[in-house]
């Protein structure tokens, strides 16, 4: 029971717009309080002395919530997530990752979504403080601030495949 309560649940606005991800425990409370309805369920059921109900995987608010778009926090973790833990210079993956300032701090480069990328240690060291165009390095893609949908998509794992249609991620053929 404890383990399944750690499952993640995707919350949609009444309009089906993806809003956030919460823990199963909180989701169940919302379902029981009739604030939301379950749209998709995991295969498991929640059992207690008083109730048995399917563990929700996607829930939808019953009333439209005017939400202030939450900003995705600029953090090391979120930069790595945006860049799929892949060095943005050489595509290395599954190696120790650092955060590189494209324009180095020394040259006035700031801590922004557009100036920070995931980089492996060798690339980061080799590039050093050189300006990008003089360093011989090229970025895989232009770094941007991730949208909430893109950010939420990174949470989708195999067992959350039920989320895909709601995050515009239909299976590729």
Q: Which of 111, 103, 91 is nearest to 130 (CA)?
A: 103
By CB under 5 A, residue 120 contacts Zn ion: yes
- Pick from 24, 30, 123, 167 the residue near Zn ion by CB under 5 A: 123
For residues 35 and 134, give the distance between their C-alpha atoms in angstroms, rounded to a whole number.
56
Site for Zn ion in 48-77 (CB under 5 A): none
- Pick from 19, 27, 87, 167 the residue near Zn ion by CB under 5 A: 87
**Minimum CB–partner distance for residue 159 and Zn ion (Å):** 31
88-107 mask for Zn ion (x: CB under 5 A)? -xx-x---------------
**Minimum CB–partner distance for residue 72 and Zn ion (Å):** 24
Is the CB of 142 or the CB of 157 nearer to Zn ion? 142
Q: Which of 16, 33, 17 is nearest to 25 (CA)?
A: 33
Is the CB of 112 or the CB of 125 nearer to Zn ion? 125
DSSP single-letter state for residue 93:
B
**Minimum CB–partner distance for residue 32 and Zn ion (Å):** 49
By CB under 5 A, residue 118 contacts Zn ion: no
By CB under 5 A, residue 12 contacts Zn ion: no
CA-based R_g, the chain, Å: 20
**Minimum CB–partner distance for residue 146 and Zn ion (Å):** 21
SS3 108: coil
Contacting range for Zn ion; rule: CB under 5 A; set: 46-54, 103-111, 120-128, 141-149: 120-128
For residues 172 and 87, give the distance between their C-alpha atoms in angstroms, rounded to a whole number.
25
β-pairing verdict for 52-61 and 36-47? antiparallel
If phi over 0 gives left and psi between -120 and 50 gives alpha, with beta otherwise, what is residue 32? alpha
**Minimum CB–partner distance for residue 96 and Zn ion (Å):** 11
SS3 81: helix
Return residues touching Zn ion (CB under 5 A). Answer: 87, 89-90, 92, 120, 123
């Amino acid at each position: 029971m404890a383990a399944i309560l750690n499952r993640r649940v995707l919350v949609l606005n009444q309009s089906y717009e993806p809003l956030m991800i919460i823990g199963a425990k909180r989701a169940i409370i919302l379902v029981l309080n009739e604030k939301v309805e379950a749209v998709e369920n995991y295969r498991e059921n929640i059992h207690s002395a008083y109730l048995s109900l399917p563990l929700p995987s996607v829930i939808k608010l019953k009333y439209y919530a005017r939400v202030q778009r939450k900003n995705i926090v600029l953090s090391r973790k979120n930069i790595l997530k945006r860049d799929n833990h892949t060095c943005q210079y050489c595509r290395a993956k599954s190696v120790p990752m650092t955060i590189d300032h494209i324009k180095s701090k020394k040259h006035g480069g700031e801590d922004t979504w557009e100036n920070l990328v995931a980089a492996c240690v060798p690339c980061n060291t080799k590039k050093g403080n050189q300006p990008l165009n003089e360093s011989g390095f090229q970025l895989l893609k232009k770094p941007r601030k991730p949208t909430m949908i893109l950010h939420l998509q990174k949470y989708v794992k195999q067992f959350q495949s039920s989320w895909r249609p709601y995050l515009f991620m239909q299976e590729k053929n």
